[in-house]
Amino acid sequence: MTGQQVEQSTVTLLTPRGRGAVATIRVCGNCQTIDSADPSLFQAANGRRMAQQPVGRICFGHWGEQQQEDVVVCRISNDVVEIHCHGGDAAVGRILEDLKSAGCCVQPWFDSLVETASIFEAELHNAVSRATTLRTAEILLRQQSGLLHAAIKQLIPVEWTSEEIGRVTGRLDGLIRRIDFGRHLTSPWNVVIAGRPNVGKSSLINALVGFSRSIVFDQPGTTRDVVDTETAFQGWPVRLADTAGIRDSADKLESAGIELARERLADADCRILLLDISQEPLPEDDVLLVEWPNSIVVAHKCDLPDLWNGRVPQSAIQVSSLTKHGLENLVDCLINRLIPAIPPDDAAVPVTKRQTDLLLSARTAIGRNDETEFRTAVQQLLN
């Protein structure tokens, strides 16, 4: 699309990536950018051009002449327009590309935040937007509302004395202990479900999430790749990985899937090992139990006769994906394993990699008794 280019405006997608009913795009600068394109990008139902729309008035219309997109726009001020469209990537991408072609500079939301706020404030705004559950959003909002900022300010020692350093070290270590928890407020805990072929890994995931996300077929070796499914348990975001059945295989494709499964197991926050107790145990079961001793063990298909003859580990959770027996116990065990201690409501939690790196740098500086390096790291945290 071509058109007469006017004073350059910036356009920013305000809503986070992912599925959503509505997306919001903000245009800052000269709102005539939208009118100046040839043909005009926005056709209002009331027949007025964008620059003629009253400030604060919601206006319905269509975007583009070909394959029109229904949109709602509002002039927030004389130089700010918000466009609300369908939340899918196709609609958002099309509007952003049209605005770019009309002369707008497409700017990431985080960059636009930094123009009016500190990096620290922008990080917390961004973190809240990435929350996928109400429970994590509530914790992030508390951090954004001043809890984390106040905790970091308390790290600044009045004097560099052994007493002050001891006080600061205790508070700093408390923040560092919550780093892993804070990271998962915007990134799901990774849980890998593993077992030999045909023990019901896909069926278990389907039962846990409540819909058929994984292919279920009673032929060993069906899953060749890792299939990820994101869900939430008790308000905590979790990514479940359905892996290839682990066994010795001469099939190159299956072997590649098994190797990928082992890599994901090594990186997982928690592992669930499935044993099909309706079939007699095989050496592959024992290998998995020995190789991953800290896993949650599930005695699967417990609705069928038990052919293990007392060999099932005592800690195993009896589960049936068909009858849903034991699923609640499994979820409770999983959450207790992932989050052994939930921080109290008044606990400060670091939520970004930059914050984590600077906290660790500050801790290293204390270990070296380097006051300058320590104060620099803490000050950078608040910038």
- Are both 275 and 156 inside the same structural domain? no
Residue 186 lies in a domain: no
- Are both 210 and 305 inside the same structural domain? yes
- Are both 16 and 101 inside the same structural domain? yes
User: What is the tally of structural domains in the chain?
Assistant: 3
* Residue, of 40 and 140, whose pLDDT is higher: 140
43: domain CATH number is 3.30.1360.120
Give the pLDDT score at 219.
42
Tens of pLDDT along 215-254?
Answer: 444 444 444 456 788 999 999 999 998 876 554 444 554 4
β-pairing verdict for 236-242 and 227-233 = antiparallel
Give the pLDDT score at 347.
97
Residue 277 lies in a domain: yes
| Beta-ladder partners of 302 | none
Residue 112 lies in a domain: no
- Are both 352 and 323 inside the same structural domain? no
What is the mean pLDDT of the segment spanning 352-376? Answer: 97
Residue 359 lies in a domain: yes
Domain boundary among 77, 107, 137: 107
Residue 4 lies in a domain: no
Give the pLDDT score at 352.
96
Name the pLDDT band for 15 (thresholds 50, 70, 90): confident
Q: Which residue stretches of 130-222 are H helix?
A: 134-142, 148-153, 162-177, 179-183, 201-209
Give the pLDDT score at 247.
47
- Are both 133 and 29 inside the same structural domain? no
Q: Say whether pLDDT at 5 is over 80.
A: no
| Domain containing residue 153 | 119-178+344-382
Q: Say whether pLDDT at 70 is over 90.
A: yes
What is the mean pLDDT of the segment spanning 110-118? Answer: 85
Residue 188 lies in a domain: no
Mean pLDDT is highest, among 47-51, 110-114, 277-281, for 277-281
Tens of pLDDT along 269-326?
Answer: 999 999 999 999 998 899 899 999 999 999 999 999 999 999 999 999 999 999 999 9
How far apart are alpha carbons 71 and 94 in whole angstroms? 12
223: domain CATH number is 3.40.50.300
- Are both 147 and 48 inside the same structural domain? no
